[in-house]
Amino acid sequence: MRGKKVDTDFLSQFISQCVIKNFVNQDDIVKQAKLEISDIDEQIKKVEKLKVIRSKLLDVISTFEKKSNSHKEEIRLLSFFQMQKPDICQYICHQLQDENMKLEELYFGFYPVADIIFCVKQLIEHKIISKTGDVLIKGDTFDEYVKFVLREV
């Protein structure tokens, strides 16, 4: 049999099971073996299909796990878009783009002082700018705010 050793214990057990099922002649035993092989082949085909589906499901998981990590960044950036008076915030960031400045220096622009103070507080809350004494400086998220919200490089 194809140069391999016959498992006599399995052969003996299979014949015993066939006799219990009233398969006593050689043709019936062969037919039963072929039927079981066919069942096993069908199960193998199902498992192969399941392996393909499993692989695709793993792709889904890896895709969403990666996106969930990048979504955390996007969610943080979304808070920038919820800020009120974006034109005044943009004005303040433009003033701080090149150098630090005193808060009072912003009062001489086109916007009311109350609105400027309100926007400075918002920008500080979002860590876009920081205040040291009466001097405004770029905050931890200044570059991100300028890049993603104001569309500048």
Residue range 123-150, pLDDT digits in tens: 898 888 888 888 888 888 888 888 877 6
CB 142 within 8 A of CB 89: no
* Cβ(131)–Cβ(104) below 8 Å: no
Sheet bearing 129-132, strands edge to edge: 101-102, 135-138, 129-132
90: number of Cβ within 10 Å: 16
Per-residue model confidence (pLDDT) at position 67: 56
| Pairwise CA distance, residues 109 & 91, whole Å | 9
Residue 1 confidence (pLDDT):
47
Packing angle, helices 86-96 and 113-125, rounded to 10: 80
Selection from 108, 145, 111, 113 nearest residue 129 by Cα: 145
What the block records as the tokens of 91 is 């004005």
Looking at residue 153, its pLDDT comes to 43
Cβ-contact 120, 103 below 8 angstroms? yes
Residues in the chain predicted with pLDDT less than 50, given as ranges, are 1, 153
pLDDT for residue 3: 66
Q: Is 7 helix (H, G, I), strand (E, B) or coil?
A: coil
Rg of the chain on CA atoms, in Å? 37
Closest CA to 89 of 32, 34, 136, 25: 136
Report all structural domains of the chain as residue ranges with CATH numbers, in order of start: 8-74 (no CATH), 83-149 (1.10.10.10)
Contact present, 151 and 105 (Cβ < 8 Å)? no
Rounded CA separation 9/25 (Å): 19
